[in-house]
Structure 1
Amino acid sequence: MSSKDRILGRIRRALPDGPSPDGPSPDGPSAEIPRDYLHVHGVRTPAERVDLLAAHLTEYRAVVHRTDGEALSALLTRLLAERGARSVLVPPGLPPHWLPAEGPTRVPDREASTPYELDRVDSVVTGCALAVAETGTIVLDGGPDQGRRRITLIPDHHICVIKVPDQVVDSVPQALPLLDPTRPLTWISGPSATSDIELDRVEGVHGPRRLDVILLAAAPGTQ
């Protein structure tokens, strides 16, 4: 018996239904799995939830900005200019008015794009599916305003726009029911980084070296 067989056997014996003579059910255990853990730690107002998200994003070395719809285009223009971006990758569903007509060359999200082509793109701007305040995590699900997963993993600079407070939840247990597990979910907590080599932090190894997060509130007087 291999180590794999022993491990899988222990898992089968630990299932609520116990071992089956026909092997494990493809539908999983029929017994209800208890989920009596806390779904959220504390009670927060929407504003406090957004503040907690911002604090955790900052701890992860993301750069957090706050603005409203009227000032968003100007902020994006400034962030791209500060990076010296000559090209910006744009998902197909990104609202056209977010980016100025004059500015970096817009690169569409194309299935045929190679990793080398994406690596030459200076920046990418996306929306998100939602964000988790307690963990400082942004979740992308490949929606129209986010594009394919690879466009946020290869370019060196990612600007992610989060609509607040509507797209912010307190905790991971609150986030999971809102997400479709069949979609390509990407969970982001700060810029890509590793400390594998002699505990020296190196950023930009598995994704963008810089992550700008824009917390986008509704413009004053709008709903």
Structure 2
Amino acid sequence: MTTARETVLGRIRDALTLAPAQDAPVRRAYRTGRTLPDGERLALFTDRLVDYKAEVRTCTAEGTAETIAEALREHGARRTGVPAGLDTSWLSAYDGEVLVDSADIPAPRLDALDGVVTASAVGCAETGTIFLDGSAEQGRRALSLVPDLHVCVVDLSAVEVGVPEAVARLAPDRPTTLISGPSATSDIELERVEGVHGPRTLVVVIRTDL
């Protein structure tokens, strides 16, 4: 007696036999190489982030520590987690408790944090998306998902115009997390609920000399 599984797999094999051979590479006409002046790219990125209900702050490289400390203070973060490779000078103006993350710290302990500060790999202005790739200054995925506040530092020089340009800057062998505003869902009666799958509050600190 033939099982349902065998029937399905048999149909798949038949379909593969009838399918034409794909010897030629698939042509992909992606839009690439798009650029915008720094000011326009910053304005577009900021507009998209705000539209996603993220909080945006800009600063120079020298003002990074004070801007981060100000954001943490305003959101009442007294205990903050950071990845092991984060530039320690970024927390020099912060007077709260800092926990340096490691793989052996369990998720419940991360849940006790008020917030987290990370760097980022790439940004996409057109979609307001931030890419994290798990590098030492960005940390493991749990660190940026469990605490309720995420302060993410983005260099304007790492913000590309569109998705193809942004993806081209990523290492394909690294774990990639895409962030577009605070975590939110509208699955229940189409009502937006924030903080379901990640931080309820996202503060993006954009470093630029403009």
TM-score by length of 1: 0.84
Q: Distance in 2 between matches of 1:4 and 1:63?
A: 50
- Judged with a 3 Å threshold, the aligned counterparts in structure 2 of structure 1 residues 54 and 103 are, in CA distance, closer, same or farther, namely same
Q: How does 1:56-135 map to 2 (within 5 A)?
A: 56-100=48-92, 103-135=95-127
Pick aligned residue for 1:191 from 174, 182, 190: 182
Pick aligned residue for 2:162 from 171, 177, 184: 171
Q: Distance in 1 between matches of 2:32 and 2:174?
A: 23
Runs of 4+ in 1 over 2 A off after TM superposition: 1-18, 37-40
- Judged with a 3 Å threshold, the aligned counterparts in structure 2 of structure 1 residues 199 and 72 are, in CA distance, closer, same or farther, namely same
Q: Distance in 2 between matches of 1:69 and 1:37?
A: 34
- Judged with a 3 Å threshold, the aligned counterparts in structure 2 of structure 1 residues 43 and 70 are, in CA distance, closer, same or farther, namely closer
145-154 vs 96-105, which deviates more? 96-105
Task: Work out whether 1:159 is the aligned partner of 2:158.
Answer: no
Aligned-residue RMSD, C-alpha: 2.4
SS of alignment partner, residue 207 of structure 2 = strand
Q: Which residue of 2 aligns with 1:25?
A: none
SS of alignment partner, residue 198 of structure 1 = coil
SS of alignment partner, residue 191 of structure 2 = coil
Which runs of 5 or more residues in structure 1 are unaligned?
19-29
Counterpart residue type for residue 175 of structure 1: A
- CA-CA distance at 1:70 after TM superposition: 2.1
Which runs of 5 or more residues in structure 2 are unaligned?
none
Counterpart residue type for residue 164 of structure 2: P
Task: Work out whether 1:49 is the aligned partner of 2:41.
Answer: yes
Q: Distance in 1 between matches of 2:124 and 2:18?
A: 32
- Judged with a 3 Å threshold, the aligned counterparts in structure 2 of structure 1 residues 31 and 94 are, in CA distance, closer, same or farther, namely same
1:154-206: CA deviation from partner (whole Å, max 9, x where unpaired) = 00000000011x10111111122221121110011110000111111100000
1:74-115: CA deviation from partner (whole Å, max 9, x where unpaired) = 111111111111111111221111112651111011111111
SS of alignment partner, residue 111 of structure 1 = coil
- Judged with a 3 Å threshold, the aligned counterparts in structure 2 of structure 1 residues 47 and 121 are, in CA distance, closer, same or farther, namely same
Counterpart residue type for residue 5 of structure 1: L
Counterpart residue type for residue 161 of structure 2: D
- Judged with a 3 Å threshold, the aligned counterparts in structure 2 of structure 1 residues 37 and 107 are, in CA distance, closer, same or farther, namely same
Q: Distance in 2 between matches of 1:208 and 1:199?
A: 20
Pick aligned residue for 2:194 from 203, 209, 212: 203
Counterpart residue type for residue 35 of structure 1: R
2:148–2:201 contact (8 Å) kept in structure 1 = yes
1:67–1:214 contact (8 Å) kept in structure 2 = yes
Counterpart residue type for residue 125 of structure 1: V
1:191–1:207 contact (8 Å) kept in structure 2 = yes
- Judged with a 3 Å threshold, the aligned counterparts in structure 2 of structure 1 residues 190 and 11 are, in CA distance, closer, same or farther, namely farther
Q: Distance in 1 between matches of 2:126 and 2:197?
A: 23
